[in-house]
Amino acid sequence: MIMTSIEENPSYGPPPPITELTTEQDFRMRQLEILLPKDEVVKEDIVTLLLALQKQNFILSNSMMNLVKSWPRPLDNDLVIALLK
């Protein structure tokens, strides 16, 4: 331990994002990659799917931003000292 550094709580804050796909998700992605180029796929279906996925992406993004903004933060030392006076 270096005496000049401030030790921080490594478990504080939200966990890091998971960017890896599960095996099942990877399999489903591969199925889509195989099926989409086929002639039976209707363009309107792809547009509907794209719009639904984009909406879910926006909702997830808004939820994550709200979670990060609402996550408890460590108190500032000056604020703690002022509160204790």
Q: What is the pLDDT of residues 47-70, one digit of tens each?
A: 999 999 999 999 999 998 888 888
**What pLDDT sits at residue 12?**
65
Q: What does pTM read for this prediction? A: 0.55
Element (H, E) at 64: helix 43-70
Taking alpha carbons only, the member of 83, 84, 85, 74 closest to residue 6 is: 74
Residue 1 has pLDDT above 50, yes or no: no
Contacts 24+ apart (CB under 8 A), 51-57: none
Q: Is the pLDDT of residue 84 over 80?
A: no
Neighbours of 48 (CB within 10 A): 11
Per-residue pLDDT, averaged over 30-40, amounts to: 89
> CA 52, CA 17: separation in Å to the nearest integer?
22
Q: What is the pLDDT of residue 80?
A: 67
Q: What is the mean pLDDT of the chain?
A: 81
Q: pLDDT category, 79, cuts 50, 70, 90?
A: low
Radius of gyration of the chain (CA): 23
Please choose, from the candidates 13, 30, 12, the residue with its C-alpha nearest in 3D space to the C-alpha of residue 21.
30
